[in-house]
Amino acid sequence: MRAPDEIKTEIAHIEFAKSVLEERLTALKAERDQHREDQYAKATITKRLAEFFKAHGLYIVDVNHGERTESHYDLAKQIWRSRKVLIPFVKYLSNNMTKSFSYDTSKITLVQKNDIRNFCHVLANKNWLTFTQSDKSFEIVPLMQGEQRDFVRGIWAEEVTLYLIVKTLNDFTKKRRLKHKLFWDLKLKQIDPISTKTVDMQLDLVAQVGDRFYVFETKAGVFLMIHKWVDRARLFDDSKNRFFTCTADENLNRMMFTPFCLLTLATLELQLTSSLQRDFPPPVVTPPTRSSIS
């Protein structure tokens, strides 16, 4: 058996070798990234987006755009359209995903019971749960795994945010005759200094309207990481571009995030429309002069 001092010496040598290798690995990754081909800066649809992030010291690693076709998106829309009864149900489900439970419906209306039943039918068809219904309750057996559980825990709020933003942007830009693009699940890395992380920042949603960018981050619960959102607001929010933090908690005080903007899902459409109206005021109509009338 070796002496303790001999073992300590070998550990110190290995730790030194490890630090040298990590330093060399960081340098090699930095050298590699200097020669990388930025596909997003070259692609027409993402060129302006890539320029926006480059101006903030970041480059795009991955991004989604185009039409949203995922089935989770339709689930989120269903939750929002019957939110008064389905959001409490989803929150209860998220806290009881590993065991069977009874959900009391004795104090809600027949219409609300139908909303829950329709939602459960959709989930049952996806094999997320099984259920039976009585006059006063639903008996639920959860079957969810992986991404399904993530959706119930809070991804639904991100999908609802996307739905409301798309709806608001479509309505506003159609009236103003503006073009817009929507990007989601963005993964970004710092240009300098180079880090050893695969991704340095992730963003839920970014909307490009005209020559402006609107960055959205969504949180399903009340535990907002204020320091993170404030740092991002300071990075992206300026005289031209906007950063919004969105929360599914309707009871959260919107003033707590002042001077930056906190959106609640219940008022997102109104708040976003107000911001868009300030950024893109309607054209001023000049009344005709007397000479032009004559």
Q: What is the pTM of this model?
A: 0.72
Residues 70, 103, 124, CA angle at the centre, nearest 5°? 35
| DSSP tally for the chain: helices H, then strands E | 11, 9
Residue 75 identity: L
Per-residue pLDDT of the chain (294 residues; tens, 9 = 90+): 788 888 888 888 888 888 788 777 766 665 565 555 678 988 999 999 999 999 999 999 999 887 665 668 889 889 989 999 999 999 999 999 999 999 999 999 999 999 999 999 999 999 999 999 999 999 999 999 998 998 998 888 878 888 888 889 999 999 999 999 999 889 998 887 666 677 888 898 899 999 999 998 877 655 556 667 678 888 888 889 999 888 776 666 666 666 667 788 888 899 999 999 999 998 777 777 666 555
Assign residue 179 a region (left: φ > 0; alpha: ψ between -120 and 50; beta: otherwise).
Answer: beta
The full set of domain ranges for the chain reads 71-143, 154-279
Q: Give 154-279's CATH code, choosing from 3.40.50.2300, 3.40.1350.10, 3.40.50.2000, 3.40.1160.10.
A: 3.40.1350.10
